[in-house]
């Protein structure tokens, strides 16, 4: 006899295969996914490909702001470092902040959203006011305030982006929670004695997850743009390289007006490609999980 849990597992596995084959049938999503994997692998391998010593300003021998050549494919930056090497190392901070900030924002958004949909009365009112505040307040300004009063570092940036970007998710999750909880099986479960934790954890969370996942992919792109914006404004960790901090030094040294395109183009293009990939994957995933969108 098949135990119920393993039957559920089989069913889940079959569903997963189904989702994957539907996802794989969308070319743009697949292209995005493959490109992303390549970029993540490159970022992970950065220390092996380019030893960190080559980015030490005191040891570089190349002239500053040199145009691309055989020795430096993307030229050198104002400190004489190889732009390609800095770009590769920069991908680590940009991706790390993108993923970590999204994780913070998704967990916050899911928990608050579920609570706002589940509880009634005073608590619901308080939570909803809280969500409303984070929805309307300009998040870049709030992130700027947070990261300028806390000590500079990657952790601060992750926190600042995560804390200012969860409200949209909370709203979507709340709407979904309300829909789920109006269904009869929840009523049955409560009649059988299920508490808040059981209802939220065993019934609401699993049906909210697909929505959150599709949203997550889209949110990573936004978080990467947010990271680059904060670093560009000078709120980043001064000791690590990121695509945003490269662009900040491009602005500060007047690289754009001086025509040093090899220092202005690559970091921005890298951001655009990564964000576009996340958007493509996210949209493909969304249309698999939410078939009503497919006609668009």
Binding site for another protein (CB under 8 A): 129, 132-133, 136-146, 148-149, 161, 164-165, 168, 171-172, 175, 215, 218-219, 221-223, 225-226, 228-229, 232-235, 244, 247, 250-251, 256-259, 261, 264-265, 267-268, 271-272, 275-276, 279, 282, 290, 293, 296
Residues with Cβ within 8 Å of 11's Cβ and at least 6 positions away in sequence, in order, are none
Q: Which residues pair with 76 in a beta bridge?
A: 82
Start-to-end C-alpha separation, the chain: 45
Distance CA 75, CA 84 (A): 8
Q: Closest CB to another protein among 120 and 296? A: 296
Q: Please spell the DSSP secondary structure of 29-79, one letter per residue.
A: HHHHHHHHHHHHHHHHHHHHHS-GGGG-GGG--SPTTPPP-SSSTT-B-TT
Helical axes 167-181 vs 205-232, angle rounded to 10°: 170
Q: Of 110 and 165, which has the nearer Cβ to another protein?
A: 165
Q: Looking at beta carbons only, is 38 or 141 nearer to another protein?
A: 141
CB of residue 74 to another protein, shortest distance in Å:
15
For the chain, how are helix, strand and coil distributed in percent, rounded to 5? Answer: 80, 0, 20
Query: What Cα–Cα distance (Å) separates residue 230 from each residue in 113, 139, 140, 156, 271?
Result: 27, 11, 8, 11, 14
CB of 290 to another protein, least distance (A): 8
| 86 vs 146 by CB, closer to another protein | 146
Between 110 and 168, CB nearer to another protein? 168
Q: How far is the CB of 41 from another protein (least distance, A)?
A: 21
Nearer to another protein (CB atom), residue 89 or residue 166: 166
CA-to-CA distance for 116 and 175, rounded, in angstroms?
A: 9
């Amino acid at each position: 006899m098949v135990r119920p849990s393993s039957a559920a597992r089989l069913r889940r596995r079959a569903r997963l295969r189904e989702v994957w084959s539907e996802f794989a049938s969308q070319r743009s999503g697949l292209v995005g996914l493959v490109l992303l994997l390549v970029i993540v692998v490159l970022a992970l391998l950065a220390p092996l490909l380019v030893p960190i010593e080559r980015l030490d300003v005191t040891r570089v021998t190349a002239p500053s702001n040199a145009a691309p050549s055989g020795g430096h494919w993307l030229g050198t930056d104002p400190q004489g470092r190889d732009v390609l090497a800095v770009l590769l190392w920069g991908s680590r901070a940009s991706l790390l902040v993108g993923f970590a900030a999204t994780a913070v924002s998704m967990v916050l958004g899911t928990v608050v959203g579920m609570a706002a949909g589940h509880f009634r009365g005073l608590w619901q009112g308080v939570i909803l006011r809280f969500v409303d505040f984070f929805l309307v307040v300009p998040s870049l300004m709030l992130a700027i305030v947070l990261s300028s009063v806390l000590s500079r570092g990657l952790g601060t940036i992750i926190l600042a982006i995560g804390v200012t970007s969860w409200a949209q998710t909370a709203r979507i999750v709340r709407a979904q929670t309300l829909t789920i909880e109006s269904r009869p099986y929840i009523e049955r479960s409560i009649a059988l004695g299920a508490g808040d934790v059981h209802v939220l954890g065993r019934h609401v969370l699993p049906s909210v997850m697909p929505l959150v996942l599709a949203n997550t992919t889209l949110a990573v792109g936004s978080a990467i743009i947010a990271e680059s914006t904060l670093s560009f404004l000078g709120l980043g960790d001064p000791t690590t390289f990121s695509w945003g901090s490269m662009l900040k030094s491009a602005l500060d040294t007047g690289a754009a007006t001086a025509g040093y395109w090899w220092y202005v183009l690559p970091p921005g293009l890298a951001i655009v490609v990564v964000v576009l990939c996340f958007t493509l994957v996210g949209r493909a995933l969304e249309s698999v999980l939410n078939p009503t969108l497919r006609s668009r």
